[in-house]
């Protein structure tokens, strides 16, 4: 099994380019199922999750070809309505195919995705939304069999602004008969990117990025070319790493508006950064004030940056309280950070982080994608050489993270 060896103590220097957003390209790839025309996607990040979504599309009859950062996708004919357990179990986001498959063929069978390391992660809001549009959901030997000979526009109130449910409903509703209103919709930038993509295909979606999304069903969608937005979580991870390690790093290909909640906290902590035309320049000095963080849905502090931010706070001056409100079990990185000397106590949904002077190297295990990023950050600021295992989690969602860090002067190597 591959692992990462990271020697801490080096300042980071130079420029790093952020890749396209994982959480934008996954639903957009699923939305490509809405048309038989050709789709071209630029700034497609090279990630394991993108490979899995491409395999899902191919198993339904489509073709996905990569040429550098460009993906060519064609779903001329849908040959199957079923995605096997093996693919769904590799990646939860495979459930994004439910909405577009219903819109295109009227039926889809997927293995129930189940839970994952960060919580039980039900899909009741996805299913409730699809049912409101006229779909029937049956459980059949572990498979969800969802069918709708005709989807009809509806008014749907989400009990929680779920990102995935908002996206699945948007994709199902864009070709439904009549108008759909999603109330209490999620407002993440990736939802806006998906809506823009569908509109470029001929869809009629308004209000994405607010909590009410208005979708007027159209008869047909056509092919298009689209550039994926930059990954705000990857950008945030590099900004945190640059701040924590010290040195000067320009993080390029970012949309600063997408990073507001992180930048506000970094200001409070005393991190010095500048917004420039090309990106965000961080002048790291290594040690900062402890700040409290509470994860929230967008535009609040993103849960996906909680783990790397917490790793940076392990060396802050004072005590920080980090509260996770989006997922029920997203502190798997804490025990690993403690093995590196961090002083952290979990109380309910909060982690109380008492800053220490020095972390030390250890062998640690990445339990999920963002926990993996947190462990890399911790290893970069620890004394000695750490070994990070189960790095396939990191490769699911960060495009060449170790290579990009080496480009900034970090001592990080992948070994088998
Ligand atoms: C997406 C992101 C993920 C991010 C999360 C929150 C993708 C591919 N993934 O995940 O990186 O961490 O948003 O910003 O875009 N919930 C239910 N029922 C449902 C759906 C969700 O109870 O039907 C709960 C979840 O268990 C969780 C919360 O709602 O506690 C938020 O989940 P959701 O916004 O749906 O996240 P995802 O779309 O899975």
Alpha carbon of 277 to ligand 1 centroid (Å): 32
Ligand 1 mutation pick, 114, 258, 326, 349, max ligand atoms within 8 A of CB:
326
What confidence score (pLDDT) does residue 113 get? 74
**CA distance linking residue 167 with residue 169, whole number of Å:** 5
- Within 10 Å of residue 13's Cβ, how many Cβ atoms? 17
Q: How many beta carbons lie within 10 A of that of residue 329, not counting itself?
A: 16
Give the atom of ligand 1 at the shortest distance from the alpha carbon of 124.
Answer: 23
Ligand 1 centroid – CA 27 distance (Å): 13
Q: Band of the pLDDT at 61, cuts 50, 70, 90?
A: very high
Question: pLDDT tens digits, residue range 90-115?
Answer: 888 889 999 999 999 999 999 877 55
Q: How far apart are CA 371 and CA 1, in angstroms?
A: 18
Bridge partners, 18 (sequence order): none
pLDDT reported for residue 287: 84
Which pLDDT score is estimated for 122? Answer: 86
What distance in angstroms lies between residue 163's CA and the mean position of ligand 1's atoms? Answer: 6
Confidence of residue 116 (pLDDT cuts 50, 70, 90): low
Ligand 1 site, residue 23, Cβ cutoff 6 A: yes
**Chain segment 360-389, per-residue pLDDT in tens:** 999 999 999 999 999 999 999 999 999 999
Residue 118 confidence class, pLDDT cut points 50, 70, 90: low
Ligand 1 centre distance from Cα of residue 165 (Å): 8
- DSSP H helices, 116-269, are 124-132, 163-173, 189-200, 232-245, 260-269
- Stated pTM of the model: 0.97
What's the pLDDT band for 394 if we cut at 50, 70, 90?
very high
Q: Of 69-73, 87-91, 169-173, 253-257, where does mean pLDDT reach its minimum?
A: 87-91
Other Cβ atoms less than 10 A from the Cβ of 141: the count is 7
Structural tokens at position 31 = 């939305």
CB distance 326 to ligand 1 below 6 Å = yes
Choose one of 160, 169, 294, 396 to mutate for the ligand 1 pocket test, by most ligand atoms within 8 angstroms of C-beta: 160
Least confident stretch, 98-112, 118-132, 156-170, 242-256: 118-132
Determine the Cα–Cα distance for residues 191 and 163; give it in Å rounded to an integer.
7
The confidence score (pLDDT) of residue 92 equals 84
Token pair for residue 251? 């993080």
DSSP 278: S
Q: Hey, whose CA ends up nearest to atom 8 of ligand 1?
A: 23
Rounded to whole angstroms, the Cα distance separating 143 from 176 reads: 24
- Taking CA atoms only, the protein residue closest to ligand 1 atom 1 is 163
User: Atom of ligand 1 at shortest distance to CA of 369?
Assistant: 11
Return d(Cα 382, Cα 360) in angstroms, integer: 5
Share of the chain above pLDDT 70, in %: 98
Torsion sign, CA atoms 250, 254, 255, 260: negative
Report the nearest-CA residue for atom 5 of ligand 1: 163
Backbone angles phi, psi at 394, to 5 degrees: -70, -40
Does the pLDDT at position 150 exceed 60? yes
CA 344 to centroid of chain Cα atoms:
26
Average pLDDT of the residues of the chain: 95
Q: What is the pLDDT of residues 174-232, one digit of tens each?
A: 999 999 999 999 999 999 999 999 999 999 999 999 999 999 999 999 999 999 999 99
CB of 122 closer than 6 A to ligand 1?
A: yes
Cβ(163) – ligand 1 distance below 6 Å: yes
Residue 120: per-residue pLDDT? 66
- Band of the pLDDT at 89, cuts 50, 70, 90? confident
How high is the pLDDT of residue 88? Answer: 83
Residues 6 or more apart in contact with residue 291 via CB below 8 angstroms:
265, 268, 269, 313, 316, 320
Distance between CA 184 and CA 161 in Å, rounded?
Answer: 6
Closest alpha carbon to 286 in 327, 316, 253, 324: 316
- Asked whether the predicted pLDDT for residue 280 surpasses 80, the reply is yes
Better-predicted residue by pLDDT, 340 or 92: 340
116 is catalytic: yes
The arithmetic mean of pLDDT across residues 289-293, rounded, is 97
pLDDT tens sequence across 19-60 = 999 999 999 999 999 999 999 999 999 999 999 999 999 999
């Amino acid at each position: 099994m591959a692992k990462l060896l990271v020697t801490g103590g080096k300042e980071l220097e130079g420029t790093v380019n952020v890749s396209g957003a994982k959480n934008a390209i996954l639903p957009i790839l699923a939305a490509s199922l809405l048309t038989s025309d050709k789709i071209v996607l630029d700034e497609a990040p090279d990630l394991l999750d993108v490979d899995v979504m491409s395999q899902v599309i191919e198993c339904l009859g489509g073709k996905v070809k990569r040429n550098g950062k460009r993906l060519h996708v064609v779903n001329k004919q849908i040959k199957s309505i079923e995605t096997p357990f093996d693919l769904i179990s590799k990646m939860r986001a495979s459930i994004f195919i439910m909405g577009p498959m219903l819109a295109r063929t009227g039926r889809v069978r997927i293995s129930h995705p189940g839970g994952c390391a960060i919580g039980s992660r039900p899909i009741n809001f996805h299913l409730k939304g699809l049912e409101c549009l006229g779909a029937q959901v049956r459980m059949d030997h572990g498979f969800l069999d969802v069918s709708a000979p005709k989807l009809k526009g509806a008014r749907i109130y989400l009990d929680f602004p779920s990102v995935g449910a908002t996206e699945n409903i948007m994709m199902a509703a864009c070709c439904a008969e009549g108008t759909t209103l999603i109330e209490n919709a999620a407002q993440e930038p990736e939802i806006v990117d998906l809506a823009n993509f569908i509109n470029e295909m001929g869809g009629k979606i308004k209000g994405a990025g607010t909590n009410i999304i208005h979708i007027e069903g159209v008869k047909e969608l056509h092919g298009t070319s689209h550039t994926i937005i930059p990954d705000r979580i990857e950008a945030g991870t590099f900004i945190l790493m640059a701040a924590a390690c010290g040195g000067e790093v320009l993080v390029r290909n970012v949309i600063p508006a997408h990073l507001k909640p992180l930048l506000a906290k970094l200001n409070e902590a005393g991190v010095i950064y500048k917004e420039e035309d090309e990106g965000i320049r961080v002048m790291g000095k290594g040690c900062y004030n402890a700040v409290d963080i509470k994860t929230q849905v967008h535009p609040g502090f993103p849960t996906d940056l909680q783990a790397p931010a917490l790793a940076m706070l392990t060396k802050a001056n004072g005590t920080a309280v980090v509260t996770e409100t989006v997922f029920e079990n997203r502190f798997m990185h804490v025990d690993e950070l403690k093995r590196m000397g961090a002083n952290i106590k979990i109380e309910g949904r909060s982690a109380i982080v008492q800053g220490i002077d020095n972390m030390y190297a250890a062998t640690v295990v990445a339990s999920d994608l963002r926990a993996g990023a947190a462990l890399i950050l911790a290893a970069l600021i620890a004394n000695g050489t750490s070994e990070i295992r189960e790095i396939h989690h990191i490769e699911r969602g960060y495009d060449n993270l170790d290579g990009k860090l080496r480009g900034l002067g970090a001592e990080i190597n992948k070994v088998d």
